[in-house]
Amino acid sequence: MLNFNYIILSLAFVSSLLYSQEEFVNDSYCGSDDVVNIKSIKYPWYKQSVDNTFQRALEYSESSALNRDIVFEVPVVFHIVYNTDEQNLSDDVIQSQLAALNEDFRRLNENASNTRDFFLPFAGDPQIEFYLATEDPDGNPTTGITHTYTNRSGFPYLDFADLFTGDISLDQVKSSETGGVDAWDTYRYMNIWVCNIEDSFLGQVLGFAYPPIDVQDALDSLDYDTVPDWSSFEGALSNLDLQGIVLHYPVVGPNNPQADDDGIYGNEFGKTLVHETGHFLGLRHIWGDALLGGGCSVDDGISDTPNQEVASNFVCDFDQDTCSDGANDLPDMVENYMDYSNDQCMNMFTNIQIDVMRAVLEIARPGLVEGQEENQCIPGDINGDSILNVLDVVLTVNIALNLDSNNDCADINSDSIINILDIVLLINLILY
């Protein structure tokens, strides 16, 4: 039997969702904040655990322990779940989506030049790259793209009952038992499901992602005197098969021939995945995801994003300034990937957003980048400028003569000794 507090929380959340939908002029949105809020109805400690994980990542990002030099490489698998030929996106479309994702996560996107001058000091290169998995969980070769027919015309994002059960109906696409595809090991792969997301009573969801969460931290926060059935909570949080991203098929890939099939425009350049990957790596919407409003008093936790009262509603309005910060006031950062801007407008992550995402990879999703800290230099690139030249030779000689500190990048033949042989090999690399 539902208790009174549970009913009150459910009704409050329903009201807030219905109210928030009035803000979205084209009735489409990202469902990632709904995930946290819906889970929190059934598990009130869920949001706290998400917040704790974010805070840990933020604190780690501010420490000297954060490695800012490594280019993290994340293996990805796309699961295409289709009912019609139109929904069965080609591998070429997926390749174009991956290319767009990598451009944005290396700040190589063409529209990076559109970042306004006063935001340029805040914009950075996340140094995160994504590649299609070449080996499946069983060790077999793979393209990193699966295509699975389903007899379902689509998958609803939410049923009204979800607001009382704490479930997300769209998670059915993540299970073969409900017409979807089972996840690959979510500790080792970033799983992305692509399907037809059906309209819900809240509107059209373009995508959503589960946030990083620390299961043990959540369990440690439980009050066992008031939560007798803590085992069900443990099961809900430790269901790792839910981790990943789900996308509505028309918004995938810049060369998608089905773009705008659903009558929703402005999402044809593959930025939806960039936005959802930001959520997957711990970022919130730039206006802070207030459940019942809150306006400018609610922040996204990132200090180099200006306070913003509401989403930009898929309009690229460079004059929008919903919060005043006094003499140093900046307009809303509508070009940020974590706003609800149209694809043409989105062009930047801030430096602190980047640090948080990299911290999440290290402390909350370590399996995606496991072992990458050990060998992240170009052999011979002693100064880390990605260019092999005479300066690297001089530095290697100094290391060999014990005139400078050791550098693993100088050990070109990997014999754990830096000597004349490494110098010769480096010269050959430069010459040839």
Which of 124, 138, 130, 136 has its CA nearest to residue 101? 130
Arithmetic mean of pLDDT, 117-133: 96
pLDDT in tens, 156-191: 988 888 888 888 899 999 999 999 999 999 999 999
What does the block give as tokens for 393? 């030779």
**Model confidence band, residue 416 (pLDDT cutoffs 50, 70, 90):** confident
Residue 382 counted as domain residue = no
247 with 310, same domain: the answer is yes
396 with 247, same domain: the answer is no
Report which DSSP code applies to 103. H
Name the pTM for this structure.
Answer: 0.80
The residues carrying an active-site annotation are 276
Q: How far apart are alpha carbons 288 and 309 in whole angstroms? A: 8
Residue 13 counted as domain residue = yes
- pLDDT of 45 above 90: no
Predicted local distance difference test score (pLDDT) of residue 20: 45
19 with 113, same domain: the answer is yes
Q: Which residues of 228-237 are buried (b: 16+ CB within 10 A; e: fewer)?
A: eeeeebeebb
165 with 266, same domain: the answer is yes
Residue 377 counted as domain residue = no
Residue 385 counted as domain residue = no
What does the block give as tokens for 61? 């990002």
Q: How far apart are alpha carbons 119 and 125 in whole angstroms? A: 14
Which of 157, 161, 244, 250 has its CA nearest to residue 197? 157
346 with 256, same domain: the answer is yes
Q: How far apart are alpha carbons 156 and 197 in whole angstroms? A: 6
Sole residue written with tokens 């309209």:
199
Residue 374 counted as domain residue = no
Containing structural domain, residue 304? 4-368
- pLDDT of 230 above 50: no
What does the block give as tokens for 285? 């919407």
Predicted local distance difference test score (pLDDT) of residue 6: 46
124 with 8, same domain: the answer is yes
129 forms beta bridges with 73
Other beta carbons less than 10 A from residue 267's beta carbon: 25
Residue 81 falls in which region: left (phi positive, over 0), alpha (psi -120 to 50) or beta: beta
Residue 256 counted as domain residue = yes
Which of 189, 153, 199 has its CA nearest to residue 79? 189
Read off the CATH number of the domain in which 232 is found. Answer: 3.40.390.10
327 with 417, same domain: the answer is no
Residue 376 counted as domain residue = no
Residue 384 counted as domain residue = no
156 with 236, same domain: the answer is yes
Sole residue written with tokens 């507090």:
5
Arithmetic mean of pLDDT, 376-404: 78
169 with 204, same domain: the answer is yes
Mean pLDDT for all residues in the chain = 83
421 with 361, same domain: the answer is no
Counting the structural domains of the chain, the total is: 2
Query: Phi and psi (nearest 5°) for 396?
Result: -65, -40
394 with 278, same domain: the answer is no
353 with 402, same domain: the answer is no
